[in-house]
Chain A
Amino acid sequence: MNISNEELLKIYKTMVTIRIFEQTAEQNFLQGEIPGFIHLYIGEEAIGAGIISQLREDDFITSTHRGHGHMIAKGADLKKMMAELYGKETGYCKGKGGSMHIMNFDLGVLGANGVVAGGLPIAVGAGMAIKLKRGDQVVVSFFGDGATGRGAFHEALNWASVYGLPIIFVNENNQYASTAKYERVVPVKSIAERAKAYNMPGISVDGNDLFEVYKVAKEAITRARGGGGPTLIEAKTYRLKGHFVGDPEKYREKSEVEDWWQREPIKRVEKYMMENGILDKEKKKEIYERIKRDVNSAVKFARESSFPKKEDALSDLFVDDFKYDY
């Protein structure tokens, strides 16, 4: 195994943090504390954590409407994350972005995105800029299986390949585009096959297997950083929760979901770590309790923070804060 025990433990903690953060957000959303809609990443944690853990601080990502996991993996502060979900002024976007639009330049997060495939062309722009500035950063662009049906996917991959940009396109194939099952709306067996059309490497992996994800991402990141151009990675996974919290999920069988719970990534990595003496019951308990405390204090922070002031609705429109005549 090419992951050190220390690194593995770190990635594992990130995965558990994402899981507990989202379980808590789900619960609090259902209690009516969080406005709008939230989309959960539960079951897909190995992808975001396994890939982003290998990035540098100055590398960039673009994310999706299902983006909490990516943000947390890129080092987001749980308090500011939760506060943004709550629409509070202490949130990452001062309550203006909400769950689907969290972005932060300092974290290298060029946007979660409320539009499917919306982040792909932006990743291309960041990749072009890196090349122009002769930097050695890389961009990881996350998107779902549904995004590959949109034109922006084609434009972005075509372009990235033409110019050999340092981008890793990560398709999180969770088998559902909103409510439509993969086979019903995608004509290829694997999203990775689509890479052929762009003359770039296309690799399909079990997205619930942290070690596989980690390995292919390492190769792709090394290639991109070394000037070898883009890669398309398909990480096959499963969306264990509905499209959004509150989704009645009438389009799939409960047994299918239960089946996938048996293959979920955290359990799998825990099993490996237990078997290899990296984790024991006591240590696991300690990690969970610690993370629960962190998430609870994030919730407390979000609850106690103020909502933005009414007049804040008019600020941040232009950089120069041009006083527009409303």
Chain B
Amino acid sequence: MKEITYREALREALREEMLRDENVFIAGEDVGIYGGAYAVTKGLYEEFGEERVKDTPISEAAIVGLGTGAALIGLRPVIEIMYIDFTTLAMDQIVNQAAKFHYMSGGNVKVPWVLRTQGGAGRSGAAQHSQSLESWFVHIPGLKVIAPSTPYDAKGLLKSAIRDDNPVIFVEHKMLYNKKGPVPEEEYTIPIGKGIIVKEGKDVTLVSYSKEIDEAMKAAYELQKEGIDVEVIDPRTLKPMDFELIFESVKKTSHLVIAEEDHYTLGVGAEISAKVSEEVIEYLDGPIIRVAALDVPIPAARKLEKRVIPDATRIMDGIRRSLE
């Protein structure tokens, strides 16, 4: 195993898949000469040339349409929308077009693209550059949604996403790009739709994903000192979600807390909570608690941003509430 960053892991995945399959190409704003707003595609333009690492106009609808049109006729585009906030500009192309084509055509056409984007707070990007909008896409039938939290998952899942025949929304987190972690030297992929137990525990199940996992782990280790044994689960894929893994854990711990960076109302946690209520409520010995971003736009000032985005302390409070 080598230690590399989340950014490097993503780049390795892109590079390996481009070498493996000449139909894979990258397109997005600033992905070429500049190397990507967060430097994920750095060096790929030099290696693969401008045809396969395409700088595009600032035209999100056309970027996604480009992906769809090219995917329809046999290529495997990896398109990049620089900030998840800007997917708003391409919603028709994502939601009405790409997500529905396979179904609407009765299975006649397929749209094998990956839409890479990044979200999340932590850099004072404020209300239009810090959102976590992944639940919008989870809501839409026909899309798969992935949100990895480690370099290992980022690489393995991006490779699977590129090989998948469906449109996949791949949500990175801007504060994870420098996160280091072990990644095997040899080739590997991670199946879409499979979560993992990041830390085993017996008292309470804590589900979290993307950057929020790091806060969840801090909370788990802090509570360990108080004798509370937290099981931390990272579903890694938000759609299809590995509900079985969560159900099994809840059956064991009888308590569920969800920590997420998206907004509280109708966020990913709301779906997990509803699903657990429907399927395994008889195992619960306390309320399901969602610890999520407060329902206000993400503010710029660090102090305000910190108030809105859940940290380990808020997660610990949530866990205590669930155990009361």
A124 contacts across to B, CB distance below 8 A: 62, 65-66, 69
Closest Cβ–Cβ distance, residue A159 to chain B (whole Å): 5
B51 contacts across to A, CB distance below 8 A: 131-132
Interface residues contributed by chain B, number (CB under 8 Å): 49
B142 contacts across to A, CB distance below 8 A: 317-318
A235 contacts across to B, CB distance below 8 A: none
Tell me if B182 is interfacial: C-beta within 8 Å of chain A.
Answer: no
Check A122 against B65 for contact (C-beta < 8 Å).
yes
Tell me if B179 is interfacial: C-beta within 8 Å of chain A.
Answer: no
Taken residue by residue from 104 to 120, chain A's Cβ proximity to chain B (1 for < 8 Å, 0 otherwise) reads as 11100011011100101
Given contacts A103-B104, A125-B68, A318-B166, A60 and B73 within 8 Å (CB-CB): yes
Tell me if A46 is interfacial: C-beta within 8 Å of chain B.
Answer: no
Check A132 against B102 for contact (C-beta < 8 Å).
no
**CB interface residues, B 57-71, toward A, < 8 Å:** 57, 59, 61-62, 64-71
Check A129 against B69 for contact (C-beta < 8 Å).
yes
Taken residue by residue from 125 to 149, chain A's Cβ proximity to chain B (1 for < 8 Å, 0 otherwise) reads as 1111111110000010000000000
Interface residues contributed by chain A, number (CB under 8 Å): 51
Closest Cβ–Cβ distance, residue A166 to chain B (whole Å): 12
Tell me if A297 is interfacial: C-beta within 8 Å of chain B.
Answer: no
- Cα A305 to Cα B279 in complex, Å, equals 40
A93 partner, pick from B75, B108, B164, beta carbons under 8 A: B108
Given contacts A105-B72, A115-B92, A129-B69, A121 and B104 within 8 Å (CB-CB): no
Of the 9-residue stretches B93-101, B116-124, B169-177, B301-309, which lies at the interface with chain A?
Answer: B93-101
Tell me if B74 is interfacial: C-beta within 8 Å of chain A.
Answer: yes
A120 contacts across to B, CB distance below 8 A: 65
Check A319 against B108 for contact (C-beta < 8 Å).
no
Closest Cβ–Cβ distance, residue A72 to chain B (whole Å): 17
Given contacts A103-B109, A159-B56, A159-B57, A121 and B103 within 8 Å (CB-CB): no
B64 partner, pick from A105, A121, A325, beta carbons under 8 A: A121
Given contacts A124-B62, A125-B67, A317-B102, A92 and B108 within 8 Å (CB-CB): yes
Check A152 against B61 for contact (C-beta < 8 Å).
yes
A125 partner, pick from B71, B106, B108, B112, beta carbons under 8 A: B71
Check A127 against B61 for contact (C-beta < 8 Å).
no
B101 partner, pick from A111, A156, A159, A162, beta carbons under 8 A: A111
B144 contacts across to A, CB distance below 8 A: 318
A104 contacts across to B, CB distance below 8 A: 105, 108-109
A222 contacts across to B, CB distance below 8 A: none
Closest Cβ–Cβ distance, residue B191 to chain A (whole Å): 11
Question: Which residue of A has the minimal Cβ distance to B77?
Answer: A125
Given contacts A96-B106, A129-B74, A325-B243, A122 and B69 within 8 Å (CB-CB): yes
B97 contacts across to A, CB distance below 8 A: 111, 113, 115, 118, 122
Tell me if B240 is interfacial: C-beta within 8 Å of chain A.
Answer: yes
- Cα A325 to Cα B278 in complex, Å, equals 13
A103 partner, pick from B69, B75, B101, beta carbons under 8 A: B101
Tell me if A296 is interfacial: C-beta within 8 Å of chain B.
Answer: no
Tell me if B165 is interfacial: C-beta within 8 Å of chain A.
Answer: yes
Check A94 against B69 for contact (C-beta < 8 Å).
no
- Cα A93 to Cα B102 in complex, Å, equals 9
B74 contacts across to A, CB distance below 8 A: 129, 133
Tell me if B236 is interfacial: C-beta within 8 Å of chain A.
Answer: no
Question: Which residue of B has the minimal Cβ distance to A139?
Answer: B69
B164 contacts across to A, CB distance below 8 A: 319-320
B104 contacts across to A, CB distance below 8 A: 93, 96-97, 101, 103
Question: Which residue of B has the minimal Cβ distance to A110?
Answer: B72
Tell me if A229 is interfacial: C-beta within 8 Å of chain B.
Answer: no
- Cα A258 to Cα B38 in complex, Å, equals 60
- Cα A321 to Cα B304 in complex, Å, equals 45
Tell me if A248 is interfacial: C-beta within 8 Å of chain B.
Answer: no
Tell me if B152 is interfacial: C-beta within 8 Å of chain A.
Answer: no
Tell me if A322 is interfacial: C-beta within 8 Å of chain B.
Answer: yes
Check B70 against A118 for contact (C-beta < 8 Å).
no
A115 contacts across to B, CB distance below 8 A: 92, 96-97
Closest Cβ–Cβ distance, residue B1 to chain A (whole Å): 30
Check B105 against A103 for contact (C-beta < 8 Å).
yes
A221 contacts across to B, CB distance below 8 A: none
Tell me if B209 is interfacial: C-beta within 8 Å of chain A.
Answer: no
A38 contacts across to B, CB distance below 8 A: none
Tell me if B141 is interfacial: C-beta within 8 Å of chain A.
Answer: yes
Check B66 against A324 for contact (C-beta < 8 Å).
no
Tell me if B227 is interfacial: C-beta within 8 Å of chain A.
Answer: no
- Cα A62 to Cα B109 in complex, Å, equals 14
18 residue pairs from A and B, CB less than 8 Å apart: A62-B69, A96-B103, A110-B69, A118-B92, A121-B62, A121-B66, A122-B68, A123-B65, A124-B66, A125-B65, A126-B69, A129-B70, A129-B75, A130-B73, A158-B62, A316-B106, A319-B166, A322-B193
Top 5 A-B pairs ranked by shortest CB distance? A125-B69, A121-B65, A94-B106, A319-B165, A155-B62
8 more CB-based (< 8 A) A-B contacts, given A110-B69, A128-B69: A103-B108, A105-B73, A111-B109, A129-B70, A151-B61, A158-B62, A318-B166, A325-B240
